[in-house]
A = this chain, B = another copy of it.
Amino acid sequence: MSVSLSAQGKVMSQLSGVRAIMKDIVETLERADKKYINLAPGNPVVLPEVEQLWRDCTHELLASKSFAEVVGRYGSSRGYEPFIDAVIGDFNVRYGLKLTRENVLVTAGSQSLYFYAANCFGGVDATGQLKKVLFPLSPDYTGYGGVSLSPDSLLAVKPNLEISPAEHRFKYRPDIDSIEIDENVGCVVFSRPCNPTGNIVTEEEVKSIAAKALLHKVPVLVDSAYGPPFPALNFTEMTPVFDEGIIHCMSFSKTGLPGERIGVAIGAPEVIQALECFHTNASLHSSRYGQAIAALAVGSGRLADIATTVIRGHYAEKLQVVETTLDSEVDDSIPWYMHKGEGAIFAWLWFDNLPISDWDLYQSLKNEGLIVVPGSPFFPGLREEWAHRHQCIRVSLTASKEELQTGMKILAKRLKEIYSAT
């Protein structure tokens, strides 16, 4: 049956960003005539210690009377209270805050949170003005590309590049002067640490952006899916910023619970309340089993421990493998640059003056048995043409060390052929 969609339906029934490529990858792997090294996944590695933690917490839940209450009752839209209390308790001690339940909303994964924010604060306002969802540092998380019912509202700012040619490293820096935040901006969103680049925007930069936004009472959502205290996937020192106007957004996916969809927003009560109502109308509340086991793991301190002693080290070591292999394997004459690996679970590579597009590079590597993700879908909301956009790839650190080594060697070989052909 062919159905007719509303304007919003047309927008939302499009697969955005990297999802079209993921479909190509899945199809490639399904008809696999050969073995591929797959460096595309965003799916975290199931680490034995982490799995054991969640098994233990589930056994504890089953042994308690709470089980029936958790799965067998509707809950508050705000979230499962013992979970909220565990998060508040941890953060108040750890960061010297005075959070109460009014400051917290639990959503069904953090993607929902960005969907609610993008459409609650962004989009057409009562006067017909289109309020922007501003990404102050492009590239950023590809999933942001799909969250708005009014895709025209997405606007990204091109960054400055800090390049170390001799080391083949670079770092994106927000172009603070070009970040305009006025009454036409509904909200600001960026990830820290950043998926896909591994970048950690400095504390000073976060504060500059937040100060600009506060002048016009624009909420700033800091996507901390990879940040401390869990999963603590920062490889350099970083502290979350809790300035007024900042909504600190967490995800429990990289702590080993992606299947359970747990997102947490921490911020000013007025902002939380608006998002909570949207959540209520759109889906009542988030599922509670995941929240209940997370409450046990957060409250006992086990999650923060395992994040710094197991999860962080696992990916930091993988990043090291990618760096070492590329440094030794890629021809020094090639203008290749790896983004400084400050956190998250990806390496982000930029090939200056790449003779082919990122999409062609992806196809060409696929022919050699290596799957990476082309970089262009990671610039949602960027309107200006920029050659750089088509010169990057994302490499996942979820593969084994051996796969990463072999993969980077394939990449090095292919780069040499591509650059020397011109």
Contacts and interface: CB of A to CB of B under 8 A. Distances in A.
Interface in A217-270: 217-219, 244-245, 253, 256-261, 268, 270
B112 A15 contact: no
A122 B111 CA distance: 23
Given A15-B277, A120-B8, A146-B281, A1 B259 contact: no
A73 B258 CA distance: 5
A24 to B, nearest CB: 16
Contacts of A149: 8, 119, 149
Interface string A330-341: 000000000000
A124 interface: yes
Contact of A287 (B8, B69, B121, B260): B260
Given A59-B62, A119-B9, A270-B1, A259 B282 contact: no
> How many copies make up the complex?
2
B121 A3 contact: yes
Contact of A259 (B75, B119, B186, B274): B75
A122 to B, nearest CB: 6
Interface residues on A, range: 35 or more
B289 A260 contact: yes
A71 B245 CA distance: 33
B146 A280 contact: yes
Interface stretch (A32-40, A48-56, A161-169, A304-312): A48-56
Interface string A1-33: 111111111101111100100000000000000
Contact of A6 (B62, B73, B125, B218): B125
B9 A284 contact: no
A2 B270 contact: yes
Given A51-B67, A286-B287, 15 more contacts: A1-B217, A3-B219, A3-B270, A5-B274, A7-B126, A9-B121, A13-B274, A42-B74, A43-B74, A46-B73, A55-B67, A109-B284, A112-B283, A146-B280, A261-B283
